[in-house]
């Protein structure tokens, strides 16, 4: 029986126990836990064929997409360490992150091609660059080259899973290692504290290079729930998804909340099914009086009789 204390075991457990349940919705496509798992397995094996071993780094420079989560899961299943790169960093900082972590493979979206182009012909590096999109779909061909057999990896809770970097405001970006058990534990705690259930549906729009988005994704998947993944944040998109989909949870920082509320202040407010609302700055609720903030949010999401604020 799998011991659920690592991300690798979580993905296998969900694929076996709730294979047909929707794990991710992206641009109208519903991906089940089984579909996501088996695509990630193929990708993990394709990376192995490329020379990746347990502990090797795999980088991603892209906006949110299904492929991004597949790389995350593939690394978590095989013991590779994913390096999600902040696409808002300066070019020199992005190059520094790649030099500092030395990934064997770097996945990127076509819009990031110009940033990486000077590195493509670097004869001192054997790094392979694979585009998520663009002509020929190099990513899909690469993924399909891997066999559909679970990687031979026995995860431990203290195995490194991810290296996230600071924004570099006081110097060069600094990498922080997050472990399989650490990420699982945080996700489990969020899920328990927020009372996320298997029937919940979370809106994820923060960039996946940020731990906030990753924690929210995992908190739902730990509970066997579904997420709606968006490429990026737009106030109009938030209202559209909330009114058209059965989203029950979402996460915003104060600035994003202000933009969302301002977007419809002179219009009729759409009805939503939202029950849980994460504010990502503890001091915001404290300094701006939590009761007042709750009143404001309730007034905009008027049918949320069970609305709670998570922080």
DSSP conformation letters of 279-292 = ES-HHHHHHT-HHH
Task: Tell which CATH architecture fits domain 40-179.
Answer: 3-Layer(aba) Sandwich (3.40)
CATH number of the 186-310 domain: 3.40.50.980
pLDDT, mean over the chain: 86
Distance (Å) of CA 110 to CA 41, 114, 224: 24, 8, 32
Sheet strand arrangement including 57-61: 128-131, 105-108, 57-61, 81-84, 160-165, 175-179
Is it the case that residue 123 has pLDDT exceeding 80? no
Predicted TM-score (pTM) of this structure: 0.89
**Three-state SS at 23:** strand
**Segments making up each domain of the chain, as ranges:** 40-179, 186-310
pLDDT score recorded for residue 224: 97
**Three-state SS at 131:** strand
Q: Nearest Cα to 179, choosing from 156, 205, 201, 160?
A: 160
Q: Quick check: 228 and 241 in contact, CB under 8 A?
A: yes
Residue 259 banded pLDDT, cuts 50, 70, 90? confident
pLDDT score recorded for residue 311: 53
Backbone angles phi, psi at 308, to 5 degrees: -125, 150
What is the rounded average pLDDT of the residues 89-96?
Answer: 91
Instruction: Please state whether 143 falls in left (phi above 0), alpha (psi between -120 and 50) or beta.
Output: alpha
pLDDT score recorded for residue 124: 65
Question: Same CATH topology for 40-179 and 186-310?
Answer: yes
């Amino acid at each position: 029986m799998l011991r659920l204390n690592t991300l690798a075991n979580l993905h296998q457990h969900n694929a076996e126990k709730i294979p047909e349940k929707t794990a991710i919705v992206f641009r109208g496509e519903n991906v089940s836990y089984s579909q996501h798992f088996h695509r990630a397995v193929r990708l993990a094996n394709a990376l192995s064929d490329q020379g990746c071993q347990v502990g090797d780094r795999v980088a991603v420079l892209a906006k949110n997409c299904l492929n991004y989560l597949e790389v995350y899961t593939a690394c978590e299943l095989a013991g590779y360490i994913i390096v999600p790169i902040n696409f808002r960093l300066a070019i020199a900082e992005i190059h520094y992150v790649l030099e500092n972590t030395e990934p064997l493979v770097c996945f990127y979206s076509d819009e990031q091609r110009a940033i990486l182009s000077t590195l493509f012909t670097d004869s001192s590096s054997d790094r392979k660059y694979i585009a998520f999109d663009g002509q020929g779909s190099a990513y899909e061909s690469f993924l399909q080259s891997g066999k559909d057999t679970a990687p031979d990896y026995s995860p431990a809770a203290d195995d490194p899973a991810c290296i996230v970097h600071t924004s570099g405001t006081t110097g060069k970006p600094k990498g922080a290692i997050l472990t399989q058990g650490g990420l699982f534990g945080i996700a489990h705690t969020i899920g328990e504290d927020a009372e996320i259930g298997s029937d919940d549906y979370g809106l994820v729009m923060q960039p996946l290079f940020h731990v906030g988005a990753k924690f929210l994704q995992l908190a739902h998947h730990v509970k066997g729930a579904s997420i709606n993944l968006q490429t990026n944040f737009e106030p109009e998109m938030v209202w559209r998804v909330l009114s058209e989909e059965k989203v029950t949870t979402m996460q915003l920082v104060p600035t994003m909340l202000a933009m969302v509320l301002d977007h419809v202040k002179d219009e009729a407010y759409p009805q939503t099914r939202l029950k849980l609302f994460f504010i990502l700055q503890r001091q915001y609720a404290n300094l701006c009086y939590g009761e007042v903030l709750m009143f404001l949010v309730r007034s905009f999401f008027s049918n949320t009789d069970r609305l709670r604020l998570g922080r």
